[in-house]
Structure formats: structure tokens, C-alpha cells
Amino acid sequence: MEYLIGYRQWFNSYTSELLKDLQYKPDNFHLKIVHTDRVIENTILISESLKLNDFAHKSAVLSALFHDIGRFNQYCRFGTFKDEISLDHGNYGAEILKEFTVLDDLSSQMNEVINNTIINHNKHIMPDNLSDENTVILKIIRDADKIDIFRIISEQNKMEQSDRTVMLDLDRNHAVSESVYKQVMKGENVKYSELKSFDDFKALQLGWVYDINYPISFKIIQQHNYLENIYKSMAQNKYSDDIYYSVKNYVESRLKDNQ
């Protein structure tokens, strides 16, 4: 992991510089730093389970470190994590790394893999024009990211007042809406712009399990009871029950397949 040190130092100084002029709540900024560390940990677990070669392992870990680098200045500039009303934080992250020539010491091949991964980590659909190796790395980051967002939302639920920025400034009082329910039950990707409430957001996240790629990712999700904790924090009704039990069954069947 020695290769990580210099990049981590750049990450630390870049984020602490931004923090100096931050006009919004620093908690949300710190939350993304902790998130980055957890996504690195998840990435290492997944990539070890897949026995990746050195090139792929290193590309995956660096992609994890920088996957949300666009989030910090997004928050400083706009005070939100909503991409629709600010900017696409995946594309923006790649621009920042270019502007600061952060990846220039790497081989052009690795530079390109990391760049593609950061740009595509937050897109609804996986691109179909990446190399097989890049596709694996992107899938790892997407799993590692979702697993940690499950943790964040579970922990938000334990707090008295969930933070509105983390919950995308949604309405905390409404149950799952019918259109979100139908889409999640069909395994469709719900767009952020369609969300109306905290429970819609949680329903969307429960539906993310259908996009999880690797056996170890399902194991990590199961071990921490993330889905159950999210479900318990929602208004209990037919919609939340149906969604929870179908995602739970899906996770159990994927775990069984891989035993």
C-alpha cells in the first residue's frame, strides 16, 4: 500500500484547504472523508476476494480514494450533494484530478482506467465500451460505494434528526410513493429527480441490491444488517414491506448461489 501514501497526502491537503473556506456544515464534508476511507476498505475486501493482479488492485484502490473527490468542492460551492441542481460529481472529480495533475505519474493505461471509473461510478447505467479489466474495477467501486452508503443511511437513521443534506433535501414525512414503489419492485433504476421523500430515497437504496455485482458484497451487506436497519426506519406499510421482503429474498438467493 506504499503507493497510496503520496496520493493520500494530496487528498488530505486538497480537502483541508477547501475546509478552511467552507461556509456550510462541516459534518457533511467530514462524512465524505470517512466515506472515502470506508470505500477504500470495501474495495480492498472485494478486490482480494477476486484475486486481482497488481495493476487492477492498485487501479481499484486509487479509484476508491478519488471516486468522490468531486464531492468536496461540490459541497463548498453549492452546499448540496444533489447533482441535478449543482454538477455531476463523477465528471467533476475527473476534471479536478486533471487540473491538479494528480494522476500524471501513473502509466497512461492506469490513468485512463481510474478516470473512466470515477466518471462512471455514479451513472445510472454501466457503460458498454470499457475494457473487461476496467469493467471489473468499475463494478468493484460501484459495489464498495453502495455498501458504504447503506452504512451511512443506517447510521443516519439512528440519529434523532437525519441530516437533510445527506438525505438530499427531501421531505422526511412522506411514505414511499406509488411510482417509486412500482419501479423498485420491477427492479428498475429510479431516478433521483423522481424522489419525493426520505422513504422514497430509502426505497431506491434498497433497490440497489439488484445492481450489486460480487458475492463478497452481498456478504458484507448481510453481516451488517444494513437492509433491515433501513427498512425498520421507514413507515411500515405494504409498500415498504413488499420492497424489503423482495430485496431480502434476492440477497438470500444470491448468497445461496455462491455457497
Complex with Fe ion: residue 58 or 89, whichever CB lies closer: 89
* Number of residues engaging Fe ion in binding (CB under 5 A): 2
Complex with Fe ion: residue 118 or 247, whichever CB lies closer: 118
Complex with Fe ion: residue 116 or 122, whichever CB lies closer: 122
Complex with Fe ion: residue 122 or 134, whichever CB lies closer: 122
In the complex, minimum distance from the CB of residue 2 to Fe ion, in angstroms, rounded to a whole number: 26
Under rule CB under 5 A, residue 148 binds Fe ion: no
In the complex, minimum distance from the CB of residue 183 to Fe ion, in angstroms, rounded to a whole number: 21
Complex with Fe ion: residue 122 or 162, whichever CB lies closer: 122
Buried b / exposed e over 215-242, threshold 16 CB at 10 Å, is: ebbbbbbbeeebbebbbebbeeeebbee
In the complex, minimum distance from the CB of residue 113 to Fe ion, in angstroms, rounded to a whole number: 17
| Burial environment of residue 143 by CB neighbours within 10 A (0 to 12, 13 to 18, 19 or more) | buried
In the complex, minimum distance from the CB of residue 67 to Fe ion, in angstroms, rounded to a whole number: 6
**What residue is closest to Fe ion based on CB?**
68
232 phi and psi, to 5 degrees? -60, -25
* Cα distance between residue 105 and residue 15, in whole Å: 21
In the complex, minimum distance from the CB of residue 173 to Fe ion, in angstroms, rounded to a whole number: 27
Q: Tell me how far CA of residue 155 lies from CA of 34, 67, 85, 161, 248, in angstroms.
A: 13, 22, 26, 11, 19
What ranges in 100-237 are assigned the alpha helix state H?
Answer: 108-120, 132-158, 178-185, 198-207, 215-223, 226-232
In the complex, minimum distance from the CB of residue 68 to Fe ion, in angstroms, rounded to a whole number: 4
- Window 20 to 79, contacts with Fe ion (CB under 5 A): 68
Site string for Fe ion, 110-129 (x = CB under 5 A): ------------x-------
Dihedral angle sign, alpha carbons of residues 242, 247, 252, 254: positive
- Give the footprint of Fe ion on this chain (CB under 5 A): 68, 122
